[in-house]
Amino acid sequence: MDLIKILNLIDVGAPLVTLFFFIKPFKKMTRELHYIFLFVCVQFITNLAASILELIKVNNYAMYAANIVITFSLLSLMFYSLINKQIDKIILACSLFFAITVIVSLLNGDGISYYNSTISAVASFIITAYCLIYFYWKLVNDHQSNGLTKSAFFWISIGLFTYYTGSFFIFMSYKFLINQEANVIGILWRFHNVLLTIFCIYTIYGLTCRNYQKT
């Protein structure tokens, strides 16, 4: 059962450990990496707040909704400044679509009284698309792509890609399953926590690459 406890808390522990790795290179980092730093901060704070609320038996869905909205905004800003200007419009269109989804969902009460699967799944889908666009752009259009594996961004993007792609089905089905099978749903969240840990490991590895520039 210890493993289950660890897996339940790892969504707080892994971002916390990752934050320590940001301290040393913080001054050398570009603005885009500062967005990642904020992303990890948000993950840590919202997951911690959600865990505390769960302990005191208070509804914590708003924390997850806040998490997904803030992290999506941060990642959109990051990819907006990272990817070539020619595909900026795609990011703006996706952000607009996401904003409309959030407004509609909140008007329906999703994310406050219930877990908001819609915005989580949409955010997850869009960020996966951002990552794929980033990889494509780097590999096809960027002549410096040979040094990509030495770039912190490359590994962080791989972490984001793994986390959001792997979590897509979980986010999408969570609202439905929480009503149907509340007693066994914990395993899905633990799986999500493992994916978040994988993201953190990729981020830590990326931060040790010592190349904090955009490429």
Partner 1 sequence: MPQLSENITLVLGGSIILLQFTLFIIMLILAYLKRGKKHLKEKEFMESEFEKQLLQSQLETQEETLHKLSTEIHDNVGQLLNSTKLLIGITQRTLIQLPNSIPDLDKALEEAMNQTDSIPDSAHTLDMADETLAKAILELRNLSRSFNKDWLAQFNFLHNLETEIKRINAGKTMHILLSGPETLTLKANQQIILFRIVQEILQNAIKHSGAKNVDIRIKEENQLLFISISDDGNGFDENSITKSMGMLNINHRSRLLGGTAQWHTSAGSGTRVTIQLPVNP
Which listed residue (195, 196, 200, 207) binds partner 1 by CB under 8 A?
Answer: 195
Which listed residue (72, 161, 199, 212) binds partner 1 by CB under 8 A?
Answer: 161
Does the protein bind partner 1 through residue 101 (CB under 8 A)?
Answer: no
Count residues near partner 1 (CB under 8 A): 28
Distance CA 210, CA 123 (A): 30
Per-residue contact string for residues 106-145; x = within reach of partner 1 by CB under 8 A? --------------------------x--x---x-----x
Distance CA 67, CA 47 (A): 8
Does the protein bind partner 1 through residue 185 (CB under 8 A)?
Answer: yes
Q: Would you state the structure tokens that stand for residue 184, as one six-digit string?
A: 């066994």
- For helices 31-55 and 186-207, give the axis angle rounded to 10 degrees: 150
DSSP string, the chain: -HHHHHHHHHHHHHHHHHHHHHHTTGGG--HHHHHHHHHHHHHHHHHHHHHHHHHTT---HHHHHHHHHHHHHHHHHHHHHHS-GGGHHHHHHHHHHHHHHHHHHHHTTBTTTB--HHHHHHHHHHHHHHHHHHHHIIIII-TTGGGGGGBHHHHHHHHHHHHHHHHHHHHHHHHHHHHH-TTTTHHHHHHHHHHHHHHHHHHHHHHTT-B-S--
Q: Give the nearest distance from C-beta 162 to partner 1 in angstroms.
A: 5
Which listed residue (125, 137, 191, 205) binds partner 1 by CB under 8 A?
Answer: 191
Does the protein bind partner 1 through residue 180 (CB under 8 A)?
Answer: yes
Is the Cβ of residue 102 or residue 131 nearer to partner 1 in the bound state? 131
Is the Cβ of residue 71 or residue 117 nearer to partner 1 in the bound state? 117
Terminal-residue alpha carbon distance, the chain: 43
Q: Give the nearest distance from C-beta 172 to partner 1 in angstroms.
A: 8
Q: Give the nearest distance from C-beta 132 to partner 1 in angstroms.
A: 8
Is the Cβ of residue 70 or residue 172 nearer to partner 1 in the bound state? 172
Which listed residue (74, 158, 200, 207) binds partner 1 by CB under 8 A?
Answer: 158
Is the Cβ of residue 88 or residue 181 nearer to partner 1 in the bound state? 181
Binding stretches for partner 1 (CB under 8 A) = 132, 135, 139, 145-146, 148-149, 158, 161-162, 165-170, 173, 176-177, 180-181, 183-185, 187-188, 191, 195
